[in-house]
Amino acid sequence: MRIRPKRLNLGDTIGIIAPASPPKLENLERALLFLEELGLKYKMGKHVEKRNGHLAGTDKERLEDLHTMFEDDEVKGIICAGGGYGSARFAQQIDFQLMMENPKVFWGYSDITYLHTAFGNFSNLVTFHGPMLSSDIGRDSFDDLSRKMFQQLFEPMELHYSEEISPLTILGEGNATGELVGGNLSLLASGIGTKYEIDTKGKLLLLEDVGEGPYRLDGMLNHLKLAGKLSDAVGFVIGDFSNAEAKNPKFSLTADEVIDHYIGETNKPAVKGFKIGHCQPHFAIPLGVGAQLNATEKTLTILPGVE
């Protein structure tokens, strides 16, 4: 059993960090109003507004903000400002014992997938794959359902996904039950061969991505296949793959054809079309908790992520 963080309460303080690329500060400012609407206070990481080329400060600075928020007893949860690139650069310096001894809500997605996987492997911590402050919440397109998904942090609740939320497509029928893991495909593929690679043995694997063309998706899914990650999983939750069109469609498979090939040939329960990922609405979920995929009925049930 992984460690579930304690639920949030009204008046709690949220720590804000930027572990990867620099956030858009005007979007971040707007997103702070949403935290206030939730009844939360916030504490900004010391280095959130720093810029180091394509990174939000140096590796040392970004890591310092992560450690500081886990050390701070006043901070009850941590929400990432945005993704982009860079979380993996400081993975070897993370104090995983600190996270294990101070479990708290940790929320983000995209490049943050690397941290979700690392925390799961070495801190045994349930984390949350959900929309972030600058890249999602501070935008005009932020959806009402995406807003509602934050309520799972205040009260332990089962999450239920069906075609009432979005059209779903069966890639493999049957039932699969297991711990829900995964996230951004490109980050999962980049972890293969390192000690931060994802463990899919007996687990439900979530996959999503953005801006990756069919041949790129083909390479990454083949990488997971050759590493045994697809055969190890008991089932597949296929999230949103946006902006995945080929530059020259006449001479390319489609993203759907690539995904259908690799996931379909496993002959395991699999459903695609979940609005999980770089999309609106963004159905936020806990990672590291038990879940059941009924591929035949096209439903997904996920156990609570907080205590």
Half-sphere exposure of 128 (CA within 13 A, CB side): 29
Active site residue 110: yes
Whether residue 132 contacts residue 183, with contact meaning beta carbons closer than 8 Å, is answered with no
Structure tokens at 1: 């059993």
Active site residue 278: yes
Alpha helices per DSSP H over 124-234: 144-148, 185-191, 214-226, 229-232
Residue 92: left (phi > 0), alpha (psi -120 to 50), or beta?
alpha
User: Which is catalytic among the residues 47, 116, 129, 278?
Assistant: 278
For tokens 């402050």, the residue is 133
Strands 159-161 and 235-242: unpaired
User: Which is catalytic among the residues 21, 87, 110, 186?
Assistant: 110
Active site residue 163: no
User: Which is catalytic among the residues 134, 208, 212, 282?
Assistant: 208
Query: φ, ψ for residue 70 (rounded to 5)?
Result: -75, -30
Q: List the catalytic residues.
A: 110, 208, 278
